[in-house]
Amino acid sequence: MGKRQGPLQGIRIIDLTTLYPGPLATMILADLGAEVVRVEHPNHPDPIHYLPPFSGNESVAYFALNRSKRSLALDIRREEGRSVFFDLVKKADVVVEQFRPGVLDNMGIGYGAAASFNPQIIYLSLTGFGQDGPYSRKAGHDINYISMAGLLSLVKQEDEIVLPGFQVADVAGGSYMAIIGCMAALWRREKNGKGERVDVAMTDAVLPLLTLQLAQQWGAQGPDSPINLLDGSFAFYGVYRCSDGKPVSLGALEPKFWINFCRMVGREDWMPRQFSTGEEGRGLRKEVGSLFKEKTRKEWLELAEAHDACLSPVHELADIENDPHLRSRQMIIEMDCGEGVNLKGIGLPIKFSGSQPDAPDPAPGVGRDSVEILDEIGYSPGRIEELIKQGIVYAASRAVSEEKVKKEETGWP
């Protein structure tokens, strides 16, 4: 235990989560040095295993979300499995779970039961709507959380709402807030020695993304709606197509950057028109758009190198790995996942000067570490073998074949 280096070295986390937000949170915590024991059911593992595409016999999504962890395949629905779980809790710092409210309590392994074995345990529950409130037991996904929190209403093309092509609530509201909640609870326990329940609701947690917009909404005077400077309607902040059809983003929000941009393109007459609205503003937006069509994206970016004008390329996903800045920041990494599988991944987005984390380890096969983990918490070889024979524990790598993935019960396309 505690073999990985990093600022969280020595912190032990039991990971009961599945799919996206929870596993991403615990993966980052593992990258930071925590020992994360991923607990999956021996016969019903995380559905992410069945999500295409595959590399070898495993989903690339599983590889991407579960690196640097250890795997224990344990049936926590059976009494013997719950006993093993509580023995893990005794030596753990944090449990992270992602079930609907009440599910783990009904199974007998909720926070109250865990705290009776380890009063210092931090039990972090990650859900869509929280542990209480009228919607607490509702099912939902990212689209539902950002809809209710008001974010989706701001993502429009003309008057049509457009879905973002990525999960805002799962990551910003789920994964990141779970990490923050975990860190805050660990620090509180460091001071007073007490564990606690941490309730993270993704709907709650995306609301801070609208802090400025809601402040403007609630503070607006009179019948006029507050002006949104960042919705693409103003010339200084938006996306433009160049002569080769490739897009750039202009973020000249502060007047100094707009002035730099106007000087760069030789249109100083635009300077006083930065915040023009109505027909004048729309006209300026069209003029700037026409200007960008006079040069290729490469030409515009080369010109912007000598000016502080907040001009950037709009990368496609395939472009990201070749960006020299992201490469220099070690944000694109390559991992040997075993069996000849090499995959790219996203690096740790936080850098440290004095507690350098280890390079990520590949994601474990289901049950890869079962025997070692049980040995570490004091189980004898005979007891481990007994649990394996009873089907309480699975203790070998588990490959998921494409044939199994195609079965209808997986639910994935």
Residue-wise pLDDT tens digits, 189-239: 999 999 999 999 999 999 999 999 999 888 877 666 778 889 899 999 999
pLDDT tens across 297-324, in order? 999 999 999 999 999 999 999 999 999 9
Task: With beta carbons less than 8 A apart as the criterion, state whether 338 and 362 touch.
Answer: yes
What is the reported pLDDT for 1? 46
Q: According to the CATH classification, is domain 12-208+331-410 in 3.40.50.10540?
A: yes
pLDDT tens across 238-257, in order? 999 999 999 999 999 999 99
High-pLDDT (> 90) share of the chain, % = 85
Instruction: Say whether 237-320 and 12-208+331-410 share the same fold.
Output: no
Task: With beta carbons less than 8 A apart as the criterion, state whether 395 and 367 touch.
Answer: yes
- Write down the CATH number for the domain with range 237-320: 3.30.1540.10
Choose, from 46, 93, 142, 170, the residue flagged as catalytic. Answer: 170
Range 117-138 burial, b when 16+ CB lie within 10 A, else e:
ebeebbbbbbbbbbbeeebbee
pLDDT average, residue stretch 122-128:
98
170 in active site: yes
Domain ranges in the chain are 12-208+331-410, 237-320
196-201/122-127 β-pairing: parallel
What is the reported pLDDT for 223? 66
Choose, from 41, 87, 141, 358, the residue flagged as catalytic. Answer: 141
pLDDT tens across 275-290, in order? 999 999 999 999 999 9
From the centroid of its chain, how far is CA 121? 24
What is the reported pLDDT for 404? 38
pLDDT average, residue stretch 160-185:
97
Residue 166 has pLDDT above 80, yes or no: yes
237: nearest Cα among 251, 258, 227: 251
Per DSSP, what are the bridge partners of residue 345?
333
What is the reported pLDDT for 407? 37
pTM score, two decimals? Answer: 0.91
Give how far Cα 3 sits from Cα of 10, 34, 67, 163, Å.
8, 9, 14, 42
- Higher-confidence residue of 170 and 55: namely 170
pLDDT average, residue stretch 120-133:
98
Residue 408 has pLDDT above 70, yes or no: no
307 in active site: no
Name the pLDDT band for 337 (thresholds 50, 70, 90).
Answer: confident
Task: With beta carbons less than 8 A apart as the criterion, state whether 362 and 336 touch.
Answer: yes
Task: With beta carbons less than 8 A apart as the criterion, state whether 96 and 178 touch.
Answer: yes
pLDDT average, residue stretch 159-167:
93
What is the reported pLDDT for 409? 45
- Hey, is 196 helix, strand or coil? strand
